[in-house]
Amino acid sequence: MQKTLMRIPYTGPLPAPYIIPRNANTPTGAIAALSKFLTAPPAPALQDHRGCDTRSTVILSGAGISVASGLADYRGTNGTYRQNKTYRPIYYHEFLANHEARKRYWARSFLGWTNLHKAKPNAAHYAIKDLGDIGIVRSVVTQNVDSFHSIAHPDLPTLELHGYLRALICVTCGNDLPREAFQESLTKLNPAWAAFLAEAIASGALDTENPEERRSKGMKTNPDGDADLPGAPYSTFRYPACPHCLANPLISADGTQTNVEVDKEGAWKPTSNAGVLKPAVVMFGESIPGKVKEAAEQAIDGSGRLLVLGTSLATYSAWRLARRAKERGMPIAIVNLGGVRGEEAFFQELAVGQQGEAGVRVEMKTDKLLPGLVEQLRRTGHDASNPVDDQHTNSGVFKDMLS
């Protein structure tokens, strides 16, 4: 089976969206169109698809849905990188092979974690919970690594396509470690950095989502908990070893004993050949686990329509899911500020005069729009007393993903 790799996102400018239907350019019109989309009869193209709940909806979400929680977004309304146009994420092979690259990664993550950790789900996440309770939304596939979906709606199956930041995984033994405990270790190992972080928090540099304000206070941030401090002495940063590998060194695949060494304060030493901890996210250049890829495809194949929220689909792993939905003949609705990669192809051949039942394109904030949509659906009789049958049939598929 061909592995799916995380690729650098599509970075070209994206055209302004064409609103569909035309009256969806106001909150009232957008809610009316999305209501029709979510409650329309099943698409004719899906009638012969076995195992498909044709009346249900799968959501595909991205960083834009978490902006109202205080997290940054990657793109602005012109479709180009807004926060840091020179941003280049670390690649998986660099992280594994280069001690200095890991120092830089963990130093930036140490600074960015505070803002991510204190952030909470917003109205959009809880509106998705309501859509699940109503029986309209069947499952969620998210590119986000903030865990807000699983916090806001633990009973609605959620697949974290790119992993999550709430834990770390050892690349040697596979054991995990809670991020809170790891952050405490980083604080103890890096007192000067911890003091700088305290100053940054006191200055308010981490309290604003405005990139210009953050840059004026010396920081650049990204939605994945990464904070860049230009000119920072990253080489001084230290990080701990996997406690399990340190206590119980493993035998490697070639039969040799692994070696994990730490300094007197517990920092990983480059003389080690094991015990490296990585975030439980899929890094660029790293394969998306096969079971996650298959579960995402099953989420698409098992639903009758796709609702895209807060993403430009710039990352290939997300864009291909929308393409899969289109190829299956699923109606697609997109709610996103700014353009979406290849969106014109998703709305080809819509019937003249359709009012949202076959496709919707809206350019509005999800936290403002979705609660009103829930209210509209409930007013029109789509409530929890009349749920769609088998609304959570993806629960088994996602069971192993909800660690």
Tokens standing for 202? 């006191």
Which amino acid is located at 342 in the chain? Answer: G
Nearest partner of 167 among 182, 188, 185, judged by Cα: 182
Residues in the chain: 403
**52 carries a ligand binding annotation:** no
Which one-letter DSSP state was computed for residue 239?
-
Which amino acid is located at 30 in the chain? Answer: A
Which one-letter DSSP state was computed for residue 288?
P
CA distance 358 to 2: 33
CA distance 6 to 293: 11
Nearest partner of 110 among 175, 169, 168, judged by Cα: 168
Selecting among 149, 162, 244, 382, the annotated active-site residue is: 162
SS3 20: strand
Q: With contact defined as beta carbons under 8 Å apart, do 208 and 98 qualify?
A: no
Which amino acid is located at 138 in the chain? Answer: R
- 162 counts as catalytic: yes
Q: What does 43-105 look like in DSSP terms, one character per residue?
A: PGGGTT-TT-EEEEEEEEE-GGGGGGGT---SB-TTSSBSS-TT--PPBHHHHHH-HHHHHHH
Q: Which residues are annotated as a binding site for Zn(2+)?
A: 170, 173, 242, 245
Q: Which residues are annotated as a binding site?
A: 170, 173, 242, 245
The residues assigned a catalytic role are 162
